[in-house]
Amino acid sequence: MAESGIRAEVIPRHIAVIMDGNGRWAEQRGLARTQGHQAGVESVRATVRAARELGVAWLTLFAFSSENWNRPKAEVDTLMQLPEAYFETELADAIENGVRIRTIGRRDSLPASVVRTLDEAVRRTRDNTGMNLVFALSYGGRGEIVDAARRLLRDHELGKVDAEALDEKSFAAYLDDPELPDVDLLIRTGSELRVSNFLLWQIAYAEIHVTDVLWPDFGRRQLEDAIRDFQSRERRYGLTSAQVRAGAGERS
């Protein structure tokens, strides 16, 4: 096997991906945009498999943003068929390989058929202890923080929380998935240098890797490139380089 140059000891624990460029990929080939989305599902399969085999603990994929509801209705309708198409083959694979499926985003705005598909996948994989695979659907980072604030206010009215005791850790427990760890590596395909309202809270210290590769052309090789790029970075969490070299910030 070819040498990958990846150091197994420092695989990012949480990788999040903005899967952009499906429409452009299709247009370059004279295809309909929806054919780009369908090709994108193949890249999801390849990337999930590669991440699992590399030992990534959490993989979060931005499948549908809260802003994507403004796309043409025909495109939205096609997109909403993709979760079911994906699970026709991949649910059995997830069960077999210990993958735990989770979702974040405004479930109440999704078609009932999509919610049923998601619920079944989440339920049938909930006891799995391998990679956590998170689909962000009808998701926006600001919306998630507002929803968290709403849940917090409800608990406050019930006398369950004290304003003075609130801190970052206790606030994070109100986010869509309280177990979702901070993102180590944020990957964006399709060249744009934007965060686009993806995981805002969780990307506070993320390393960002933007590639010109369009999502339907992304797979194991490109994931390995992104991880190699991540492994070349010095992560400082607000400290100086000298402090990092002196070992400040090490978990005691």
Q: Which residues bind ligand V0D (CB under 6 A)?
A: 19, 22, 37, 40-41, 44, 63-64, 79-80, 82-83, 86-87, 118, 121, 135, 137, 215
Helix (H) or strand (E) holding 251: none
Give 46 or 57: the residue with its C-beta nearer to ligand V0D: 46
Give 4 or 35: the residue with its C-beta nearer to ligand V0D: 35
Give 194 or 233: the residue with its C-beta nearer to ligand V0D: 194
Calpha distance 54→123 (Å, rounded): 25
Residues 166, 191 contacting (CB under 8 angstroms): no
CA atoms within 13 A on the CB side of 199: 34
To ligand V0D, the closest distance from the beta carbon of 39 in angstroms equals 8
CA dihedral defined by 238, 243, 244, 245, rounded to 10 degrees?
A: 160
Give 161 or 199: the residue with its C-beta nearer to ligand V0D: 199
CB neighbour list of residue 114: distance below 8 Å, 6 or more residues apart: 80, 83, 84, 137
Residues 193, 18 contacting (CB under 8 angstroms): no
To ligand V0D, the closest distance from the beta carbon of 186 in angstroms equals 16
To ligand V0D, the closest distance from the beta carbon of 110 in angstroms equals 8
To ligand V0D, the closest distance from the beta carbon of 53 in angstroms equals 19
Position of minimal CB gap to ligand V0D: 40
Residues 61, 105 contacting (CB under 8 angstroms): no
From the list 68, 97, 128, 197, the catalytic residue is: 68
Cα Rg of the chain (Å, integer): 19
Pairing label, strands 185-188, 100-104: unpaired
Examine the residue annotation and report whether 68 is marked as an active-site residue of this protein.
yes
Give 17 or 206: the residue with its C-beta nearer to ligand V0D: 17
From the list 20, 176, 184, 225, the catalytic residue is: 20
CB neighbour list of residue 227: distance below 8 Å, 6 or more residues apart: 6, 11, 12, 15, 54, 185
Examine the residue annotation and report whether 20 is marked as an active-site residue of this protein.
yes
Nearest to 58 by CA among 95, 99, 117: 99
To ligand V0D, the closest distance from the beta carbon of 70 in angstroms equals 14
The residues that are catalytic are: 20, 68
